[in-house]
Structure 1
Amino acid sequence: MTISITKSARQFGYIIWSSKNEHEIKKLLGNRTEVSVMFNGLSIGVKAIDWKYHRISIGYKFTRALPESATVFHITMNDDVLEVTATDDIR
């Protein structure tokens, strides 16, 4: 799944999805309230899923350090770990 990196997502350290992507995210994450996250190959621990505001906090130190060319998050679920990769490739 691909999610755009918005200005506020980069500034405040979130993976933010729109309500139109809610169904895909629900399919990917199920009814979890938290998930282990692997961000660009680095395990950053268990993170809470904020269903009300459609986001998962990954920390602003990670997102602010991303190059400006990174425009999307590629998200996959593998062995109960949410794998997130930031890239400029829209695939």
Structure 2
Amino acid sequence: ILYEFTWNQFCDWYLELTKPVMNGGTEAELRGTRHTLVTVLEGLLRLAHPIIPFITETIWQRVKVLCGITADTIMLQPFPQYDASQVDEAAL
């Protein structure tokens, strides 16, 4: 599921759909798009860390600054929890 979401949803769809915004959106659109991209990437890194720890730690060290995280390692971050309030039923 993690692999499918990462490649077939996040990379194939969301990243591709953000390119026009990143190349010519307003400042507010750019800020919102960047925030969403980094937030989702940081969550994906936490989910993947038990499977591929070395590369996720290396990438997370760069991403944490963008997220405002001051922890020393991804290993000290909580595993993401399901939040039903974040589900958009209309999008499903």
- Asked if these proteins are the same fold (TM beyond 0.5), I'd say no
Greater Cα radius of gyration, structure 1 or 2: 2
Hey, which of these two has a bigger chunk of helix by percent? 2
**If each structure's strand is expressed as a fraction of its own residues, which one has the higher value?**
1
Q: Relative contact order (C-alpha < 8 Å, sep 6+): which is higher?
A: 1
Q: TM-score, normalised by structure 2?
A: 0.25
